[in-house]
Amino acid sequence: MSRKKATHLRGERGQDFANRMRGIPSEQILCVSLDISKYFHVVMIHNGLGEIVKPTFEIDMMQSGLDQLCQAIEQAQVQTSAQVVLIGMEPTSHYFENLARHLLKRALPVTLINSFAVKQNREQRLMRREKTDEIDVAAIGDLLRRGEGTPYKPPTEIYLQLQQLDRVRLSKVRIAGMLKNQIIGHLDRIFPGLVVFGAEAQKRYPSLFETNFWTCSTLQRLIRLCPNPHCLAQMNPPALVQLFHEHQSRLGLKSAARIIVRAQETLLPEPLLVDIRAELLQHDLELLDEFQSHLAVLEQRLAQLLATTPYAVWAKLKGLSVVQVASLAAAIGDPANYSEAAQIFRRSGLVSGRNDSGRRQRKGQGSPVLKAGDVYLRRALMNALATLLLHQPVLARYYQQLKKSKPDGVARVATARRLVGILWATLRDQYPTTLICCKGADM
């Protein structure tokens, strides 16, 4: 239970809803619940008692669907003499956003019902094995009439641009990661042992260079100029050095000798296999270069937009890069939408799983962290936490102290909660030089 004085079973949000509904008969509260999908949406209209006013019907994703929905709402308002209209939907991918924005333009506020809450509500109604659009829309409506969900406040202006740029950047990062894995797959077939990952494998097969493969300029140039171990095994060190110099790259004789010895020690694959894989490797390397070039452009645009927002102060904190801060800003949105740090943390959906009852108090041991909120905010927050734990000693000590009595997942969630409070205070005060976790403790 919160240390704050509780006035409602569901806290401030529950109290706000109770204040809005006070004095209004349940029959005059109109609930419009929508189950969102890509090409069509299922709608049900009912009153505050759960009595169905208009049975489920479908609307399409076009203008005609919006007009049909608004007409149905107007008819139901007249039929029930509704004083309040509540509209709720799950935040399904990006499919809900366009419809929700248009409803807001028509002065019809939208409430987002958490998908995890819908799933839990469906299970509580003993419908665990059933999942149809009608059951889902009924579960959404049940939560809506009880005041669950959060008002939809879409990002605008700079924050809308940040959001879209960052989402595209994240998709490019995932594709680049897939390309890197595919390139490693090519190399494993072309030149076995050139790239060695894993501590155990590296004990048996020491790496050619101490730096990571993806940051080693020599290896990056080698797989572009001559990845074929058959050719390398026949070369001498001066010839390999000359090949590098012809392409304006540096390579010492000792490094060249190590590369050639590794090729000579390798159990060489079939030459025909090497030839076709080397060709495919070059195609993927060119594609990776293109993606990384596009990523650099996206990150530059994010940095330019970030500089015009209050969030720029976070980029001055040790342990946070400009890209990490831009992701946080894109996921959180306009800080004017929040009055306290707890609202941001609740949106992230980071909640430690618990399965306690009576004397069985496991305090989260063996239970997963529930992920019921905004996936973009959660990802950005946990990514920031991972690097700040390495660069901010007080935050790291707080985390290590929690780990003594709590599972790692629970300790990370609690540390993330503390981090949000610290970041919010830094944003509010625009003072990045000192961070504190508790009174009198400096970072």
Q: At 352, is the pLDDT very low, low, confident or very high (cuts 50, 70, 90)?
A: low
How far does Cα 182 stand from its chain's mean position?
24
Q: What is the pLDDT of residues 268-280, one digit of tens each?
A: 999 999 999 999 9
Predicted local confidence at residue 367, as pLDDT: 54
CB-CB contact of 79 with 53 (8 Å)? yes
Q: Mean pLDDT over residues 399-417, rounded?
A: 87
Predicted local confidence at residue 357, as pLDDT: 41
Choose the CATH number for 23-151 among 3.30.420.40, 3.90.1210.10, 3.50.50.60, 3.40.640.10.
3.30.420.40
Selection from 386, 388, 297, 378 nearest residue 331 by Cα: 378
What is the per-residue burial (b if ≥16 Cβ within 10 Å, else e) of 189-210? bbbebbbeeeeeeeeeeebbee
Q: At 442, is the pLDDT very low, low, confident or very high (cuts 50, 70, 90)?
A: very low
pLDDT of 202 higher than 80: no
Q: What is the pLDDT of residues 112-163, one digit of tens each?
A: 887 777 877 777 665 554 456 678 888 888 888 888 888 888 888 999 999 9
Report the range out of 93-102, 178-187, 419-428 with the highest average pLDDT: 178-187
Instruction: Round the average pLDDT of the chain to a whole number and report it.
Output: 84
SS (H, E, C) 10-69: CHHHHHHHHHHHCCCCHHHEEEEEEEECCCEEEEEEEECCCCEEEEEEEEECCHHHHHHH
Q: What is the pLDDT of residues 257-303, one digit of tens each?
A: 999 999 998 899 999 999 999 999 999 999 999 999 999 999 999 99
Architecture, CATH, for domain 163-301: Orthogonal Bundle (1.10)
- At residue 360, the 3 state secondary structure works out as strand
DSSP letters along 75-99, please?
HHHHHHT-SEEEEEE---TTHHHHH
The DSSP bridge pattern shows strands 84-89 and 110-112 to be: parallel
Dig out the tokens for 184 from the structure. 């490693």
Selection from 306, 19, 30, 9 nearest residue 145 by Cα: 30
CB-CB contact of 295 with 172 (8 Å)? yes
Q: At 6, is the pLDDT very low, low, confident or very high (cuts 50, 70, 90)?
A: low
Say how far apart CA 380 and CA 378 lie, in whole Å: 6
Domain with CATH 1.10.287 in the chain: 163-301
Q: What is the pLDDT of residues 373-383, one digit of tens each?
A: 778 888 999 99
pLDDT of 201 higher than 60: yes
Q: At 305, is the pLDDT very low, low, confident or very high (cuts 50, 70, 90)?
A: very high
Least confident stretch, 14-28, 139-153, 287-301, 356-370? 356-370
Say how far apart CA 212 and CA 196 lie, in whole Å: 10
Residue type, 306: L
Say how far apart CA 301 and CA 309 lie, in whole Å: 13
CB-CB contact of 102 with 59 (8 Å)? no
Least confident stretch, 11-15, 108-112, 291-295, 371-375? 371-375
Say how far apart CA 264 and CA 229 lie, in whole Å: 8
Predicted local confidence at residue 441, as pLDDT: 42
Residue length, the chain?
Answer: 443
Higher pLDDT, 118 or 427: 427
Higher pLDDT, 134 or 88: 88
Q: Mean pLDDT over residues 221-231, rounded?
A: 92
Higher pLDDT, 205 or 392: 392
Higher pLDDT, 35 or 8: 35
Domain with CATH 3.30.420.40 in the chain: 23-151
